[in-house]
Amino acid sequence: MALLEVHDLHKAFAGRKVLDGVSFAAEAGEVLAIMGPSGTGKSTLLKIVLGALKPDQGRVVLDGDEITALSERELDQVRVKFGVLFQNVALLHSLTVGENVALPLIEHSPLDPSVIEIMVRMKLSQVGLTDFENFYPNQLSGGMQKRAGLARAIARDPKVVFFDEPTAGLDPVVGQAMVKLIRDFSRALKITAVVISHRVDLMLPVADRVVMLYNGKVVFSGLPADMAASEDPLVRQFVRGEIEGPIPVIPAPEQLKKALLGE
Partner 1 sequence: MRRLLGYLGRRLIRFLEHLTSILYLCREIGYWLVVAPFQGKHWRRVEVTRMMDEVGAGSLPLVLIISVALGMIVVVLTTSQLRDLGATRYSAGLVTLALMRSLGPLFTGIVVAGRVGAAIAARFGTMKVSEEVLALESMAINPVSYLVVPVIVALVVMLPCLTLFAEAGGLLGSFVVGTLGMGIDPDLFRVQVTEHLDNFDILVGMVKSLTYALIVGVFCSYQGLTVEGGAENVGRATMVSVVFSIILVVVADAGLTVAFYL
Q: Enumerate binding residues for partner 1 (CB under 8 A).
A: 47, 50-52, 75-77, 79-80, 82-84, 86-88, 90-93, 103-104, 107-108, 152
- The packing angle between helices 113-126 and 97-108, to 10°, is 130
Shortest CA distance to 97 belongs to which of 127, 68, 58?
127
Burial 230-245 (b: 16+ CB within 10 A, else e): beeebbbbbbeeeeee
Polymer length of the chain: 263
Complex with partner 1: residue 164 or 212, whichever CB lies closer: 164
Residues 6 or more apart in contact with residue 79 via CB below 8 angstroms: 50, 51
The least CB distance from residue 50 to partner 1, in Å, is 5
For partner 1, give the closer residue by CB, 82 or 214.
Answer: 82
145: how many CB neighbours lie within 10 A of its CB? 21
The nearest distance, CB 231 to partner 1, in angstroms, is 38
Which is closer to partner 1, CB of 145 or CB of 186? Answer: 145
Q: Which is nearer to partner 1, 79 or 209 (CB)?
A: 79
**C-beta of residue 138 within 8 angstroms of C-beta of residue 110:** no
Residue closer to partner 1 by CB (options 67, 170) is 67
Q: How far is the CB of 55 from partner 1 (least distance, A)?
A: 17
* Least separation in angstroms between CB 51 and partner 1: 8
Closest distance to partner 1 from the beta carbon of 14 (Å): 13
Taking the CA of residue 151 as centre, how many other CA atoms within 13 Å lie in the half-sphere pointing to its CB? 30
Query: With respect to partner 1, which residue has the nearer C-beta, 77 or 255?
Result: 77
Task: Report the side by side order of strands in the sheet with 82-85.
Answer: 82-85, 160-164, 192-197, 31-35, 209-214, 217-222
Angle at 14 between CA 10 and CA 19, to 5 degrees: 20
> Whole-number minimum distance, CB 65 to partner 1, in Å?
13
